[in-house]
Amino acid sequence: MEKILSKRVGERIILLGNEAIVRGALEAGVNFVSTFPGTPASEIGDVFSRISKKAGVYFEFSTNEKVALEAAAGAAFSGLNSLVAMKHFGLNVASDALLPVVYTGVEGAMVVMVADDPGCWSSAQTEQDSRYFAELAHIPMIEPSDPQECKDFTKFAFEISHKFKIPILLRITTRVAHQQTPVKLSNIQYPISNIQKHIKKGRFSTMPPNVLRMKKELLEKTEKIRDFSKNFPINQIYRGPTSVKSKIGVICSGVSYLYVMEAIGELGLNLSVLKLGFTYPFPEKIVGNFIKKLQRVLVVEELESYLEEQVRAVAKDINPKLEIFGKDLPKIGELRPEYVKEAISKISGKKSKFNFKTHQQNFQKLNLLKRFPNLCPGCPYWLVFSGIKKAAPKNTIFGGDIGCYMLAGCPPHNIQDWLISMGSSIGIAHGISKIQYQKSNIQNPKVISIIGDSTFFHAGIPGLINTVFNKSNPLIIILDNGTTGMTGHQPHPGVGKTGSGEETRAIKIEDIVSACGVKNLKIIDPINQDEFVNTIKEFLDKKEVSVIIARHPCVFLKK
Amino acid sequence: MKKDFNIVIVGTGGQGLITLLKILAEAAMLQGFDVRTSELHGLSQRGGSVECHIRFGKKVFSPLVEAGGADLIIALEQNEALRACYYGSRQKTIFLLNKLNIFTPASSGKTLTIDRISGDLKKFSKIVILLDGSEIVKKETGAIVATGIYMLGYAIHDSLIPLKEKFILEAMKGIIKEKYLELNLKIFNL
């Protein structure tokens, strides 16, 4: 029996933040869940993949995040409760559909869960702050700080989405997703399909002139939600036991709140703390009341100064003399408890007993090993990378993509000249191969890109079509290990199994490649090193795009 | 016990740190403490440095141990122990170190001798305890991957962690797969 399905109401069990979101969704009566795996959000899909049948919830790994979001929107248009989960970059992919779905609204409820990764522990690309999507899309946003809140806020999210018939963003960060604490369980609402009527004709069509009417309704709805959030229990003020008249305050949200409370306890301070759970629409009234009588306020948040900018805007009218501190704290990387303690110590004048500066200086004197992540022993990519190195001439330019094979960029391999986003290995390879260095002594370089099977399905196909359509000749090596390795071995469209374990038709990558119009195509097990190396050499001389499907199962796949 | 207890566990990916963390968290809850942990998944696990935190006590907020704030550091690999010095302080930290040197093609830098390492650790701790954990576990059972359980056993039997053995054992029974439980209990008691 999965403990996450426990029926013992009131019991406390230890859950990861992501697991608590799953439990919250179950307690809210979720019907439909879709995702594309990405750390730090992966466990949402992994858990639903195990329990969906038992819980009576529909679950799928979709082809990419945009498709996942569209699937969830379809369910919510039809009156169901849907959850779609992704990592931050997934929201970029999904955003094209997200923005109009916020315009149209939904009939049931729709929760869009996004996990940011400050410090880029499991992310290349950028150190993105997804909170700005809330402003861009006018989608309400709530931010839990720990597993208990992950569960509770997920339920709130469904409630708010249902009440206002609008998708809602549930935004977390790595230290919330991968934090464990005991979580108190409530009842699971076994989902009932409550579709009463068909989708009303034209209801979700943004076709002009609807789109501007919808925008007007959305902006009105946003104000209603702002008003509603004033009394919603997830924006809270904490005051120290004797701090009625403290002139110093702290505003924070998410995991930062935990560092703030820790620091205040350690320093023995009586500051007032405003913890924001509802961060879009920005709760101006609550913030205004909080800062009205303060002399100094510290805004503690990871990444950009999203809250700080809005606090400054509110302060301008309400308390123009207020001293506002914020991004003395780093904008790069995660916050840490000691950084927050130092910042609070500075604005309050209360010294910490521990000399952090000296400690840090002593620490920096140590001789630390640099450890790069490693391909697993027995991983077929060892053979792929060594084959590429044997075959490629010196001036070859190497394109990388998102997956385990990003490690091509690490020693001892060092064959990665760009790494941008899902599918970009092919899109950029096209651009580079189109360049002709005619008027210089530079020889036209060869271009080799590597892309994994799951990533190819996700975002590689349009790029590949473009190489044929617009006539370029990179060599694309598709690494087909039969799974989504990096994020924990989830199935993809080539596998023949769905996220809930049902049989489905396995889509062959070679069929897609051929259908895209690629003429130079070979499927090779890289264990046949000579054939692999010779084919790379042969294909690098072609005038048209070439594809090698390097097919060998991930070492973790059950035989 | 003072108001909270802070443990940092370090090693490299695949050494079973997360299992160790789960056992400690469950045991702390069973003993009635408030408990929080933090761990990392994904890329950081692929043979790279791994660092897990667990804090328990009457009430804890931060999931991360602060700089110099560890009461106990369990290092499953000796080079990683140096990295964990960030959490150590002369006032209170006990270092429990497994003598094991893991150096892969994807590492760069110089490995130090165990004497040099333990010399450095002393600057960031009150007590350094060196164990031949991997060697003992390998000799007795062959299951070198469970070295963490041996270290846990050592820490509990020597009262380095204010958690009762009965709660640790109860937690192990719930977390470790049944077919490996007997082996792990044996290693815990080595």
Say what angle helices A529-540 and A381-391 make with each other, to 10 degrees: 50
A419 and A536 part of one domain: yes
**Looking at residues A454-472, what average pLDDT do you find?**
98
Compute the mean pLDDT over every residue in chain B, rounded to the nearest whole number. Answer: 92
Residue A474, beta-bridge partner list: none
CATH of the domain at A405: 3.40.50.970
Closest chain B C-alpha to A21 CA, distance in angstroms: 17
Confidence (pLDDT) at A387: 97
**Looking at residues B32-43, what average pLDDT do you find?**
87
A363-389: per-residue pLDDT in tens? 999 988 888 778 888 999 999 999 999
Query: CA of B171: which chain A residue's CA is closest?
Result: A14
Residue A246: CB atoms within 10 Å: 18
Confidence (pLDDT) at A368: 87
Which residues have a Cβ under 8 Å from the Cβ of A185 and sit 6 or more positions away? Answer: A6, A8, A9, A10, A11, A12, A13, A23, A27
Residue A164 has pLDDT above 70, yes or no: yes
Per DSSP, the residues of A94-137 read: HHHHHHHHHHH--SSEEEEEEEE-TT-TT--S----THHHHHHH
A260 and A156 part of one domain: no
- Distance (Å, rounded) from C-alpha A476 to C-alpha A515? 15
Residue at which a domain ends, from A169, A197, A229 = A229
A64 and A109 part of one domain: yes
- Distance (Å, rounded) from C-alpha A301 to C-alpha A15? 24
Residue A163 has pLDDT above 90, yes or no: yes
Residue with tokens 């997804």: A130
- Distance (Å, rounded) from C-alpha A427 to C-alpha A418? 11
Residue A65 tokens, joined: 């995040």
Residue at which a domain ends, from A229, A249, A266 = A229
- Class level of CATH domain B4-101+111-188: alpha beta
* Residues above pLDDT 70, as percent of chain B: 95
Contact indicator for B154, B24 with CB cutoff of 8 Å: no
In chain A, what residues touch B61 (CB-CB under 8 Å)? 258-259, 261-262, 265
A346 and A401 part of one domain: no
Give the helix ranges, DSSP H, for A413-483.
424-434, 453-455, 461-469
- Distance (Å, rounded) from C-alpha A307 to C-alpha A330? 14
Confidence (pLDDT) at A372: 78
Strand, helix or coil for residue A448: strand
Domain interval for residue A33: 3-229
Q: Quick one: which of A46, A1, A37, A38 has its CA closest to A19?
A: A46
* Residues above pLDDT 90, as percent of chain A: 85
Q: Nearest CB to B12: which of A39, A367, A371?
A: A371
Q: Nearest CB to B29: which of A12, A337, A372?
A: A12
**Looking at residues A68-87, what average pLDDT do you find?**
96
In chain A, what residues touch B103 (CB-CB under 8 Å)? 369
Confidence (pLDDT) at A440: 62
Is A375 inside a domain boundary?
no
In one letter, which amino acid is B21? L
In chain A, what residues touch B44 (CB-CB under 8 Å)? 121-122, 373
Confidence (pLDDT) at A194: 62
Domain total in chain A: 3
Question: Contact A359/B21, CB-based, under 8 Å?
Answer: no
Element (H, E) at B171: helix B165-175
Confidence (pLDDT) at B107: 72
- Distance (Å, rounded) from C-alpha A498 to C-alpha A490? 9
Is A371 inside a domain boundary?
no
Which of B3, B66, B101 is the best residue to mutate to test the A interface, defined by the most A CB atoms within 10 Å of its own CB? B66
Element (H, E) at B140: helix B133-140
DSSP state of A59: E
| The total number of residues written for chain B in this structure | 190
Q: Nearest CB to B38: which of A178, A406, A412?
A: A178
- Distance (Å, rounded) from C-alpha A199 to C-alpha A255? 40
How many A/B residue pairs have CB atoms within 8 Å? 162
Confidence (pLDDT) at A295: 94
DSSP state of A503: B
Question: Contact B61/A262, CB-based, under 8 Å?
Answer: yes
Confidence of residue A201 (pLDDT cuts 50, 70, 90): confident
Q: Quick one: which of A190, A188, A179 has its CA closest to A148?
A: A179
Q: Is the pTM of this model over 0.90?
A: yes
**Looking at residues A166-172, what average pLDDT do you find?**
98
Strand, helix or coil for residue A371: strand
- Distance (Å, rounded) from C-alpha A32 to C-alpha A56? 9
A350 and A408 part of one domain: no
A141 and A263 part of one domain: no
Contact indicator for A463, A430 with CB cutoff of 8 Å: yes
Closest chain A C-alpha to B49 CA, distance in angstroms: 6
* A213-A214-A220 Cα angle (round to 5): 95
Confidence (pLDDT) at B144: 86
Contact indicator for B33, B26 with CB cutoff of 8 Å: no
**Looking at residues A331-349, what average pLDDT do you find?**
95
Is A493 inside a domain boundary?
yes
- Distance (Å, rounded) from C-alpha A107 to C-alpha A74? 10
Compute the mean pLDDT over every residue in chain A, rounded to the nearest whole number. Answer: 94
A255-307: per-residue pLDDT in tens? 999 999 999 999 999 889 999 999 999 999 999 999 999 999 999 999 999 99
Q: Nearest CB to A175: which of B38, B68, B110?
A: B38
Confidence (pLDDT) at A243: 54
Residue A184, beta-bridge partner list: A12
A332 and A219 part of one domain: no
Closest chain B C-alpha to A463 CA, distance in angstroms: 26
Question: Contact B61/A258, CB-based, under 8 Å?
Answer: yes
DSSP state of B142: S
Residue with tokens 């490649």: A513
Q: Quick one: which of A452, A449, A382, A455 has its CA closest to A413?
A: A382
Confidence (pLDDT) at A196: 61
**Looking at residues A68-77, what average pLDDT do you find?**
97
Confidence (pLDDT) at A86: 98
Question: Contact B85/A182, CB-based, under 8 Å?
Answer: no
Question: Contact B67/A175, CB-based, under 8 Å?
Answer: no
Confidence (pLDDT) at A559: 54
In chain B, what residues touch A554 (CB-CB under 8 Å)? none
Question: Contact A367/B110, CB-based, under 8 Å?
Answer: yes
Residue B97, beta-bridge partner list: B75, B130
Is A558 inside a domain boundary?
no
Residue at which a domain ends, from A229, A264, A298 = A229
Residue A122 tokens, joined: 């499991």
Confidence (pLDDT) at A270: 85
A200 and A326 part of one domain: no
A34 and A160 part of one domain: yes
Contact indicator for B96, B157 with CB cutoff of 8 Å: no
Q: Nearest CB to A487: which of B13, B42, B48?
A: B42
Question: Contact B106/A412, CB-based, under 8 Å?
Answer: yes
Closest chain A C-alpha to B16 CA, distance in angstroms: 15
A507, with CB counted inside 10 A (0-12, 13-18, 19+), is middle
Q: Where are the domains of chain B?
A: 4-101+111-188
Which residues have a Cβ under 8 Å from the Cβ of A160 and sit 6 or more positions away? Answer: A140, A142, A168, A225, A228, A232
Question: Contact B67/A359, CB-based, under 8 Å?
Answer: yes
In chain A, what residues touch B68 (CB-CB under 8 Å)? 338, 354, 356, 359
Provide the greatest CA pair distance for chain A. Answer: 78
A221 and A245 part of one domain: no
DSSP E strand stretches across A205-346: 236-239, 248-252, 272-275, 278-280, 296-300, 323-325
CATH of the domain at A324: 3.40.50.920
**Looking at residues A45-61, what average pLDDT do you find?**
96
In one letter, which amino acid is A487? T
Query: CA of A179: which chain B residue's CA is closest?
Result: B38
Question: Burial code of A134-146, b = ≥16 C-beta within 10 A, e = fewer?
Answer: beebbbbbbbbbb
Confidence (pLDDT) at A558: 66
- Distance (Å, rounded) from C-alpha A378 to C-alpha B112? 29
Q: Quick one: which of A88, A109, A87, A6 has its CA closest to A43?
A: A87
Residue A551 has pLDDT above 70, yes or no: yes
In chain B, what residues touch A371 (CB-CB under 8 Å)? 12, 47-49, 104, 106-107
Residue with tokens 């003399």: A321
Residue A157 tokens, joined: 């999210």
Is A546 inside a domain boundary?
yes
A327 and A409 part of one domain: no
Per DSSP, the residues of A287-352 read: HHHHHTT-SEEEEE-SSS-HHHHHHHHHHHHH-TT-EEE-TTS-SSS---HHHHHHHHHHHH-PPP
**Looking at residues B108-134, what average pLDDT do you find?**
92
Closest chain B C-alpha to A76 CA, distance in angstroms: 31
Q: Nearest CB to B43: which of A14, A373, A411?
A: A373
In chain B, what residues touch A123 (CB-CB under 8 Å)? 43
**Looking at residues B167-185, what average pLDDT do you find?**
95
Q: Comparing A487 with A439, which gets the higher pLDDT?
A: A487
Reported ipTM: 0.95
Contact indicator for A308, A315 with CB cutoff of 8 Å: no
A322 and A414 part of one domain: no
